[in-house]
Structure 1
Amino acid sequence: MNSQSSNMGVRSCCKRIMQNTTVPGAFSYLSPPDLVDKVAACKGAQNQVDSEEYKRLLHGFLQKVNALLNHGFGYVLIHLNDPFLLSFFDEKINQLLDHLIADNSYFHDNFHSKYYDKEHVLFWVRQRRRDRENISTLHLHTKVSWNGSLRDAKQGQVKQHIERASAQPQADTAEDMESDYKEQIIFIEGKVVETKDGVFQESIDIEAKGLSAEEQKHHLDWLFKMEKGGKLPGYITAFAKLDEGGSYYIGLEEEKQEITKTTGKGQVKTGKFICKGVRLSDTEKEALRTGIQNKARDEMMWLSREPLENPVSVIFHPVQNQRGGAVRNLYVIEVKVKHLEGLAFWTKEGPQAFKVPESATSDPQPEPMPMAIDEWIRGNGGSPKRLKVQKPTF
């Protein structure tokens, strides 16, 4: 098909969508009526980026693109009657689409956009040859570690770990066995945390969090709340990808220093951590340990080539007073994660995908796709015979 006939087909499809005519593999997408007013009122302010309206708009759009990728081709026509809104949306989706798994190729190889007029932009997923077993994924529900913070995993990172997990096991080398050594950390109440080699700091395999008095009443809820809490499941999936695993410390607060500015006083983070600790009775310690491990076992999905024994350990480090004695019932909690020959997902459902509904309507909505995990593993370069869903034992 030449470019002229292709453009005619696109414009014809545009007209049919705008006229609310059913088009197989097409979605007409209007922004919420009140969204434009809210964006216009706070133009230039940060809260427009984090608004719930924007999040719904972006997530709904990504569901539709994901469904069309699994369908093979299709169109999304978006009506955004504010140029500022349109330019921001265009920029934002380019970041998010990079996380879609699409036949092991970058999204821009299969995805195109074009302004139809001042108020409409047409996005289309072109048809391409692909393996039927390959499943495009909206969200992987697994994270990677990035210098003390989390990032959504990308296609290449996931494929790398599936391929490695499917390979034949190799004997441990002397270097591998020596890598289990961890430097001793010294926890003194109210003091900057130190190690034998210097100051303790966050890194790719270390994350530290404090707990407020209110959060301490609900340890498990806070730790496993992915949006605003401790995000422990995300760090578990991230550390499991590291060759030496990683540790998540609870009870350390980031140090802040007062600085004087011309406009007044302020604070700046130093990158160091103060030991505050978490107060726990023996009963509370055991309940927290089993609670974390039970949630890791029952609310996450683990893909591995070997049975999993104690992939997540919970260690309670006693906190010392400044004279070197132990402070009663005060601990720094370490959640230690081993390297996993495979992948961990922070939901028990694993990857999330959508498909085009079989019965077309004038306002179709993408349908969740039940993930056939064996097909998903195979489509991403692994072997289901060697890589399977496991239930950790503790």
Structure 2
Amino acid sequence: MKTRGSHKRSRPGSSKDDPPAKIHKSEVINPEVEIPTETNKCTCGDNVPGINKINEKNILYMHVEGGTFYAKKNDKTFKTELLQKVCCLRNSNGGLLVTHVKNRDTGFGRNLDRFDERFEKDLNNMIEDDSPYWMNYRRRWLPSTERGEYQDYILLDVEGSSSVSTQDFNTYMPNDGSIVRPKAREIAEYMSKSHKASDTKNESKIGGDEFKEDHTLPYYENRDLQFKRLDKEVLLGSQWKDLPTDKAAVEKILSCRLYNYITTFTKLEKGGVIYFGVEEEKTEPPRENAEGLPTYHYKVRGLSLTENDKRQIKTDLLTSIKQNMLWVDDKGNTLKEEDVAQKVEITFHSTKGDDTSYVIEVLVPQKFAGMVFTKKEGPFACRVSRTGDKKEIIPVDLEKWQERVTEMLTCEKCKKGARQSGEQQQQQQQPQQQ
């Protein structure tokens, strides 16, 4: 995905020669997006012996209740804040994240197993050059005082990014059996290639006359074909049961990760399609063949809709896609909402002769020449910006992000990180082979 040409979300003044972590001329991707501000009001650095002696240019602070930190159920707010601040440090030449664990239950001790379980995978995802985890992060408790008193502060040393770290790409890649969060180098490979929209129709599209109520379809899910259940029973048993049928159907469809699938289908040569109103049934093997695997079939179970329901569902879905997703073409231009509406087709297929029940088809008919994101602000990559003593967390400009991502393929530091990661994997495999 190339970034040449004018980009409606960028402003003049950025230089290609700026080092990755010093993107001081980047602007906010979407000024309406609220991002927390990191100020110096936190008194941890002044009141706790040891922290104010750490010689780090970039120090960010956060606080968490001990019960939240050690709870079995993840606290998404805490996790999001921590990952955001790590991303900022990586895109600002590295630094230190200090987490104050307040009211810690001493019965849990001071091990960091729970911290590792909760964050290692996500922290790994922010290593864009494939270098080893241990080269990028080091976590530890703040050492005890001279009197031997424990200090409930977790220190996370964060290395600077070799190009740009991304907390969430807000776009997905297809596997045959799932859609997945891409790796940074996968995004870089995809964006570096020229993509053209295909004129070929999607071969996974099913003929409308094949949808007959309670009949089993002779098709199976794959990377460009998906089925989702959507009938009256589903809506009545959900949190949308008190909504009108059309509103409940739209909410259910969106909850099935519709945006995620759309971003995936736009990367496939012939697009992709989802049908809402098809139930997955599992047939267990006979007892005498207990070792056999379950077989999945897909049965049509349409949703009762009026003509007004159909019109409203189509309008609401297209409006949601236009207003909440970001489509950027291969020249770096953001598509207008009326152009986005032409990239997704919504069709209703009758499942009964009296036209009272329908399967809803959402089709991306062809590959999109560019990149599509699930959120209007695009990828979530942020950095630290300073004005005097005030520190702010702001997004990396989208055009600058695209430029830095594609540089991964030619950046010598990125290549070195990838080689070191490969060598480390070989060393780990050798003892196992022996």
Check whether TM > 0.5. Answer: yes
Query: Shift of residue 270 of structure 1?
Result: 4.0
Please tell me the residue identity of whatever aligns with 2:309: E
With over 3 angstroms needed to count, the CA separation of the structure-2 counterparts of 1:182 and 1:65, relative to structure 1, is closer
Instruction: Give 1:232 deviation, angstroms.
Output: 0.7
CA distance in 1, matches of 2:111, 2:311: 51
**Contact 1:209–1:252 (Cα < 8 Å) also in 2:** yes
Deviation at 1:142, TM superposition (A): 1.2
Residue number in structure 1 paired with 2:184:
155
Aligned partners of 1:57 and 1:219: how far apart in 2? 32
**AA partner of residue 111 (structure 1):** N
Distance 2:160 2:393 in 1: 21
Change in 2 beyond 3 A, CA 1:15/1:293: closer
Counterpart in 2 of 1:59?
A: 80
Shift of 1:244: 2.0
Whether the 8 Å CA contact 1:187–1:318 is kept in 2: the answer is: yes
Give the deviation of 1:333 after TM superposition: 0.9
Deviates more, 1:242-251 or 1:370-379: 370-379
Q: Measure, in 1, the Cα distance between the counterparts of 2:367 and 2:403.
A: 22
Query: Does residue 1:213 correspond to 2:232, yes or no?
Result: no
Calculate the aligned-residue CA RMSD, in Å. 3.6
Q: Is the 8 A contact 1:98 1:106 kept in 2?
A: no
Contact conserved, 1:205 with 1:245, CA < 8 A, in 2? yes
Q: Which has the higher contact order (CA 8 A, sep 6+)?
A: 2
Partner of 1:21: 52
The CA deviation string for residues 340-361 of structure 1, in whole angstroms up to 9 with x for no partner, is 1221111111112332352687
1-side partners of 2:94 and 2:88: how far apart? 9
Separation in 1, partners of 2:174, 2:195: 26
In the superposition, the TM-score normalised over structure 1's length comes to 0.69
1:327 Cα deviation after fit: 4.2
Structure 2: state its 5+ residue gaps.
Answer: 1-43, 144-149, 288-292, 408-434
**Paired position in structure 1 for 2:11:** none
Matching residue of 1:316: 348
Q: What residue identity is the alignment partner of 1:318? A: S
Residues of 1 paired with 2:286 and 2:45: CA distance?
A: 61
Return the offset for 1:17. Answer: 9.2
Task: Work out whether residues 205 and 273 of structure 2, in 8 Å CA contact, stay in contact via their aligned partners in 1.
Answer: no
Q: Which whole-Å CA distance do the structure 2 matches of 1:181 and 1:319 have between them?
A: 21
> Structure 1 residues 17 and 221, CA, compared in 2 at 3 Å: closer, same or farther?
farther
How far did residue 332 of structure 1 move? 0.9
Is 1:189–1:276's contact at 8 Å kept on the other side of the alignment? Answer: yes
Q: Which residue of structure 2 aligns with residue 390 of structure 1?
A: none
Structure number having the greater strand percentage: 1
Q: Distance in 1 between matches of 2:88 and 2:317?
A: 35
Residues 269-308 of structure 1 mapped to structure 2, 5 A cutoff: 270-305=295-330
TM-score of the aligned structures, taking structure 2 as reference length: 0.64
Instruction: Show the 5 A alignment for 1:117-266.
Output: 121-127=154-160, 135-164=164-193, 167=194, 177=200, 180-182=202-204, 184=206, 186-194=210-218, 200-211=219-230, 212-214=234-236, 215=240, 216-217=245-246, 218-224=248-254, 229-257=255-283
Q: Do the aligned residues in 2 keep the contact of 1:63 with 1:138 (CA within 8 Å)? A: yes
Percent sequence identity over aligned pairs: 23
Residue 302 of structure 1 deviates from its aligned partner by 0.5
Task: Give 3-state SS (helix, strand or coil) of 1:328's partner.
Answer: coil
CA distance in 2, matches of 1:114, 1:236: 38
Query: Structure 1 residues 368 and 26, CA, compared in 2 at 3 Å: closer, same or farther?
Result: closer
Match of 2:369 in 1: 341
Report Cα offsets for 1:97-127 as digits up to 9, x if no partner.
233264x454737512143469765321235
- Give the whole-Å Cα distance in 1 for the aligned partners of 2:265 and 2:80: 27
Q: Which residue, out of 317, 339, 356, partners 1:329?
A: 356
Partner of 1:5: none
Whole-angstrom CA distance in 2 between matches of 1:28 and 1:368: 12
Letter in 2 for 1:246: G
Conserved 8 A contact 1:66-1:100: yes
